[in-house]
A and B are shown apart, each in its own frame.
Chain A
Amino acid sequence: MTEFALILVSTVLVNNFLLVQFLGLCPFMGVSNKLETAFGMSLATTFVLTLSSICSYLTYRYLLLPLDLVYLRTIAFILVIAVVVQFTEMVVRKTSPLLHRVLGIFLPLITTNCAVLGVALLNLQKQHGFMQSAVYGFGAAAGFSLVLILFSAMRERLAAADVPEPFRGSAIAMITAGLMSLAFMGFAGLIRF
C-alpha cells in the first residue's frame, strides 16, 4: 500500500512528467488556452495513459517476453497506444461532440505524446509489476492533469491581462511554464525513490 502511495507522490509531484521530466509539452502548450478544454484533455489523457500503461505491460509480459521479442517493445507499445487513442477519440466523439471539435487535432496527437510512451517504457525499466504499472500510469496522468489545469487557469488570466506587446501569446506562456517548473523543483528530495 505504501508502495503505491509512494509511486503516486513521485509521479504527481516529485518527478512530475510535465514540469520535471519535460515530457508531453505539446498538448500542454496547445490545449491550455481555456479551462474547459484543459479539463477535457486531462480526462482524455488520464484514460489513455492508464489504459495504455496496463495494455503495454500485458503486451510485454504475455507476448513479447515469452516470444523473446523484447527488442520490438517500442513498436509494440506505439501500436498499443495508437489503438487506445483511437478508441478514446471514438468515445469522446460520441459523448461530447463539442469537446471533440474543440480538442481537434490534439486528441489523436496524444499518440505522439512522449509522456505516454515514456510511461510504458519506464515501467519496463523500473521492472514494475501489473498493479505498479497501473498506478504509475494513473499517477503520471494525475500529475499531467494537475499541471495542465493549473496552467490553463493562469493562461486565462494572462489572456485578459496587460501583457507587453512582445510577450503576448506563447512567449508569456513559456515563461510562466518555466516559473512553474522552478516551483516544482522544490519537491525534489521529498521522498527517496
Chain B
Amino acid sequence: MNLLARMPRWGVHPAENKAQSTARPIRQAPMPAQLILPMQQHIGAPAEAVVATGDRVLGGQVIAEASGFVSARVHAPTSGTVTSIVEHAVPHPSGLSEPCILITPDGLDEKLAPQPLPAYQQLEPAIVLEHIRNSGITGLGGAGFPTAVKLGSVRDAKIEYLLLNGVECEPYITADDRLMTERASQVVGGALVLAHLVRPQHTVLVVEDNKPDAIAALRLACQGTAAEVRVIPTRYPSGGEKQTIQIVTGREVPHGGIPADIGVVCTNVGTAAAVHRAVVDGEPLVSRIVTLTGNALAEPGNFEVLLGTPIRELLATCAMDATNLDRLIMGGPMMGFALPSPELPVIKTTNCILASAPGELPAAGPEQPCIRCGLCAEACPAALLPQQLLWYARANEFERAEKHHLFDCIECGACAYVCPSNIPLVQYYRYAKGEIRHAEQERIKAERSRERFEFRTERLAREEAEKEARRLERREAAKRKAAGKADPDAAPATAGTSPEVQAAVERVRQRKAAQADDGSQES
C-alpha cells in the first residue's frame, strides 16, 4: 500500500535535537546511594507495600503487590535494606508527595534467582500473561498502562495487527532509538512473545525514518521471523498510539473504544524488550533506558537506570553544570513537565530527563487573544477543533467542550506549538478535563448521599412505625390484663410456670382467702 498517500497532513515538525544523545551507546548508570520507589508508577490503583522498614530485600523481590484489577507490582531493583515507607515527593505535575518505599542499596547487587519461562511457545497464553503480570511490566512509552491488563482485555478479539511502537516522535528523546539499535534481538524477541499472546496476522515494528541505524538493526533481527519492519515519515505526533495505528493500518480507533476493537494491539518497543527480559531471562521490571539530554549537561546520552534512582545522581553522572541549568523537564519538550527539584526518582514512565540551558527552550511569549486563524485545527492529529475547545474551556462551558470530543485530545501540544498568539491551549484542555472529572465525582457522591439520606428517612419512619405498633400492642395487653384482674377469685395466670411457683401462688391465694374470711368474721 502507498504509505505516503495515507500520511495525514496533521502534525508539526519541530527541530529534532536527537543527535546530542545518540552519539554514544547505552551506558549503565552507576549504583545510586538511595532508591525511592513510589507505589504508583502506572495508571490505575497504587500498589500496596508488602515489606516493612528494616527488611532486607534482594534484587527482583516483590516489594509491593498490585491492588485491584488495573494495577501493577513493584520490585526491588537491587539488594539492600528498606529504610522507610513514607510520603515522598514524586515526579507528577502537581509536585505533591505520594507513598514511597525507600531502599538503601548495599552494593552487593544480589538478585533473586531468575525465573524464566523456557519454551514459552508451548505454554498456554494465560500462563505467559500471568508471568508478565507478576513481572510488574507497564507501558514504558510514557503512559504506564499495566501491560498484562492491556493484553488481557484483548480476550477473544481477532487481532490483525500487532504494532510495536518504535516511532519516538518527540524531539530530544532517543531511548527507544538506542534500544532498537543495540538490543534489536530483545525487541524482536519481545514482539514474538506478544505475538504468541495475541496471535496477530501481522507483527509490525514501526519506526520513523530519522532512525536509520535502528531500522537496519531491526531488519537484521527480524530475518527469519514473522515480524517485519515498517518505516514511516518523521512527523510529530505520529508516535501517539491512535496516530500510529491510523498511519500503518488506515483504521481509526473509535471514540471511547480501544485499539482491540478494530483488531489492533500496539505496545512500545521498550515494553516489548521488558517482556522479553521477563519471559526469556526471567527478570522482572527493575530498570529502564532513560535519555539524559539538554545543553546543561556536558555528557548527555542514554543510560540503563535502576528504577528509583534519584535524578540528581544521574545529572551528576552526566556532569551537569548547575549554573547553566534553566529547567529540569521529565519527558520531552512537547509533552513533558517541569520538575521542582532533582531529588525525585526515575520511575517506570520516565523516558527522558531534559536539563535545558537558558535560551534552549525559551518560554512562550505572553498569551494574546485568539485571532481565529484555524492553524490549530490543521495541526490537530485527532481531527478536533482546538479553537472551539479553547472558547468553551475559557467560558467554563464544559458540557459543550465534552460534546466537541475534549476527551479524545491526546494533549500532544501540536496546536499550542503552531498558535501565533502563544495561547497555552493544552493547559486549558487539561483544566477543562479536570473540572469535568471533578464535577462527575461530585455528582456521583451527591447521588450516593441522597440515597443514604432517603434510606435514613425511611429507616426512621419505619422505626417510628414499629415503636407505635409495639406501644399499641402493650396497651392492648395491659387492657386484657386489667379485664382479667377484675375477678379476684379467678385463678391467677400460672400457665407455663413451674410446679413450685404454682404451689406458692396457691398458698398465697389461700392465705388471702383465709384473711378475708377472718376479716369478715370479725366485722
Contact = CB atoms under 8 A, between A and B. Distances in A.
B519 interface: no
A159 B394 CA distance: 11
A160 B432 CA distance: 14
B392 A160 contact: yes
A9 B375 CA distance: 38
B397 A162 contact: no
A157 B387 CA distance: 11
Contacts of B400: 156, 160
Nearest to A156: B400
Interface core residue of A156, A160, A162 (most chain B CB under 10 Å): A160
Contacts of A1: none
Nearest to B390: A160
B41 to A, nearest CB: 39
Contact of B369 (A157, A159, A160, A162): A162
Contacts of B369: 162
B486 interface: no
A145 B175 CA distance: 59
Interface residues of A, number: 6
B89 to A, nearest CB: 38
B391 interface: yes
B501 interface: no
B370 interface: yes
A156 B403 CA distance: 14
A162 B394 CA distance: 10
A162 B369 CA distance: 8
Nearest to B391: A160
A162 B370 contact: yes
A190 interface: no
A157 B400 CA distance: 11
Interface core residue of B369, B370, B391 (most chain A CB under 10 Å): B391
Nearest to A162: B369
A41 to B, nearest CB: 20
A79 B380 CA distance: 57
A72 interface: no
A161 interface: yes
Interface string A120-163: 00000000000000000000000000000000000011011110
A156 B370 CA distance: 17
A160 to B, nearest CB: 4
B428 to A, nearest CB: 12
A2 to B, nearest CB: 42
Contacts of B15: none
B471 to A, nearest CB: 43
A93 B453 CA distance: 31
B4 interface: no
Nearest to B369: A162
B395 interface: yes
A161 B392 CA distance: 9
Contacts of B370: 162
Contacts of A159: 395, 397
A154 to B, nearest CB: 13
A17 B61 CA distance: 80
B24 to A, nearest CB: 50
Contacts of B395: 159-160
Contacts of B394: 160
Contacts of A156: 400
A160 B392 CA distance: 6
Interface in A17-54: none
B370 to A, nearest CB: 7
A157 B391 CA distance: 8
Nearest to A161: B391
Nearest to B394: A160
Interface string B367-399: 001100000000000000000000110110100
A56 to B, nearest CB: 40
A160 B395 CA distance: 5
A159 B392 CA distance: 9
Contacts of A157: 391
A66 B410 CA distance: 73
A156 B399 CA distance: 13
Contacts of A162: 369-370
A118 B39 CA distance: 73
A159 B369 CA distance: 16
Nearest to A35: B400
A160 B397 CA distance: 8
Interface string B117-152: 000000000000000000000000000000000000
A162 B395 CA distance: 10
A169 B185 CA distance: 66
B166 to A, nearest CB: 41
A117 B400 CA distance: 37
Contacts of A160: 391-392, 394-395, 397, 400
Contacts of B397: 159-160
B386 to A, nearest CB: 14
B7 to A, nearest CB: 33
Nearest to A157: B391
Nearest to B372: A161
Given A160-B391, A162-B369, 11 more contacts: A156-B400, A157-B391, A159-B395, A159-B397, A160-B392, A160-B394, A160-B395, A160-B397, A160-B400, A161-B391, A162-B370
Interface of A: 156-157, 159-162
Interface of B: 369-370, 391-392, 394-395, 397, 400
Nearest 8 A/B pairs, CB to CB: A160-B395, A160-B391, A162-B369, A160-B392, A160-B397, A161-B391, A159-B395, A160-B394
11 contacts: A156-B400, A159-B395, A159-B397, A160-B391, A160-B392, A160-B394, A160-B395, A160-B397, A160-B400, A161-B391, A162-B370
